[in-house]
Amino acid sequence: MTLWVKAQITQIQLWKKNLLYISLKASIDKFIAGQFSKIRIENPYTNTKIQRAYSFVNPPTSNKIEFFITLIKKGQMSQKLLQLKKKQNILISKKSYGFFTLKEILPSKILWMFSTGTAIGPYLSILQEKKDTKKFEKIILVHSVRYFSDLKYLHFIQNIKKIYQKKLIVIITISRERKKNFYYGRIQKLLLNNTLEKNISINMNKENSNIMLCGNPNMVEDLFKILVKKKNMTKNLRKKPGNITRENYW
């Protein structure tokens, strides 16, 4: 049974019609970077309750609890979120959940992080926390969005890049429009035609790399199949460690 605690909204911004940023203040248990929490909104007048799971963007050491949320047209939770205001109270689960963490991944020369849309959230939490990143000599973040306007959180990525400097390589690809200084196309195609590896002069193989996949279920499944077939990689399990750690984002 989920234990809920009160959370006050300290900041809320509609970055675009389908992208929401929300910051909360609440007394929750310490979580591990990469995990997710649950948000619940109740209406005492209609006796309705609705809840959804969202991954933390902030590191566990931060006083702020931050989420990037993709809003779904006509979605019940999305409609409720759009009505929220600063200083209003909602509910958040006291405990956090999930195994999409660096704790579950063995050391390797290179860690590849693949994501789409707001599924970059867990990686931002992990990279800001820094814990366990020393297990990898190089970290490569590959992030995909449909349009440049979807990158409202670009400043988060840029600030993290400054911290890691040469250890972190950031590759951002836009799938539905061309933009200077950004890759063009879907991640699947860029991986299949070796564009990613060629452009940064790094070879991905099962001996030197661990892979994290987070985002659109179709992207996650496509990349998983490509990595298994093309790179002979295997799923990472606790009892049977492999190269690929995956998490669907809805």
User: Is 241 found in the same domain as 187?
Assistant: yes
Residue that is last in its domain, among 27, 58, 93: 93
User: Is 85 found in the same domain as 110?
Assistant: no
User: Is 177 found in the same domain as 79?
Assistant: no
User: Is 211 found in the same domain as 139?
Assistant: yes
User: Is 135 found in the same domain as 29?
Assistant: no
Band the pLDDT of 137: cuts 50, 70, 90: very high
Give residue 92's identity as a one-letter amino acid code: I
User: Is 129 found in the same domain as 234?
Assistant: yes
Q: Quote the domain boundaries for residue 137.
A: 102-248
Band the pLDDT of 44: cuts 50, 70, 90: confident
For tokens 């030197």, name the residue: 208
pLDDT higher than 80, residue 45: no
Residue that is last in its domain, among 36, 65, 93: 93
Tell me what percent of the residues of the chain surpass a pLDDT of 70: 100
User: Is 110 found in the same domain as 86?
Assistant: no
- Residue 178: its pLDDT value, please? 96
User: Is 138 found in the same domain as 60?
Assistant: no
State the pTM of this model. Answer: 0.95
Count of structural domains, the chain: 2
User: Is 72 found in the same domain as 146?
Assistant: no
Average pLDDT over all residues of the chain: 96
User: Is 106 found in the same domain as 11?
Assistant: no
- Residue 250: its pLDDT value, please? 65
pLDDT higher than 70, residue 53: yes
User: Is 220 found in the same domain as 107?
Assistant: yes
- Residue 138: its pLDDT value, please? 98
Cα pseudo-dihedral 216, 181, 33, 24, rounded to 10: -90
**Tell me, what CATH number does 241's domain have?**
3.40.50.80
Question: Tokens at residue 94, please?
Answer: 């006291």
